[in-house]
Amino acid sequence: MLCRGQSIAQKRYQRDVMILMAVYLVLVLCSAMFVKHGSTTHLLVYVFSIIPAIPIILLIARMARYLRDETDEYQRYLRMQSMLIGAGATLSVLVVTDFLRSFAHAGDVPPFTLFIVFAASMAATELLQYVRNRVPSNE
Amino acid sequence: MNNRLRSLRAERGWSQQALADRLEVSRQSVNAIETGKYDPSLPLAFRIARIFGLRIEEIFEDAA
């Protein structure tokens, strides 16, 4: 089930990712403005702090659904590989920083560092996969 | 695992894209199987064998 080199599952996944990212941007901006300028209660600050995380959690769930929907097993294998490398890099950074905090009394890592590590290592893996799997046009 | 996919495809004059369309996978997948970067699952190997009208063991062989 392919459309111009991309499977239907890939096209749907990319469409949903774009939608979720747009929703995320709107929610981050709205939450930041509300928390900064609105006269909010402590509970509301918690609520508005959690709201922007919802599209990110949905994005992670969408990744899992993509793996279920993808009928091209090699594409599924590549995506699973990049997700595993992303998860591995994230957990490695987490365990190193946890030991640094526990034994060396180092400070906390800045917010969102771990998700950036996950996304960046996934993206780097997918770039490497793209370079390694380029197919000659004369085949 | 070694395979004869490239030569079988060449015998029939099929491009990678043509074979990929028949198998309903990406051209990248066909290329990865041909170059030995990826070993297909049993269901995909059966589909490949069916398309070429051969048995799986006539296309794929154990590298050991």
pLDDT tens column, A54-109:
999 999 999 999 999 999 999 999 999 999 999 999 999 999 999 999 999 999 88
The minimal CB distance from A71 to the residues B24, B27, B32 is found for: B24
Q: What residues does B61 pair with on adjacent strands?
A: B2
Flag if A1 and B38 touch (Cβ within 8 Å).
no
Kindly list the domain boundaries of chain B, sorted by start residue: 2-54
Number of domains into which chain A is organized: 2
Size of interface A-B (CB pairs under 8 A): 48
What ipTM was estimated for this complex?
0.90
CATH class of B2-54: mainly alpha
Does the global pTM surpass 0.90? no
Q: Which two tokens stand for residue A84?
A: 């595993």
Cα–Cα–Cα angle for A125, A130, A136, rounded to 5 degrees = 155
d(C-alpha A74, C-alpha A58), whole Å = 24
**Do both A8 and A56 map to the same domain?**
yes
Q: What residues does A3 pair with on adjacent strands?
A: A6
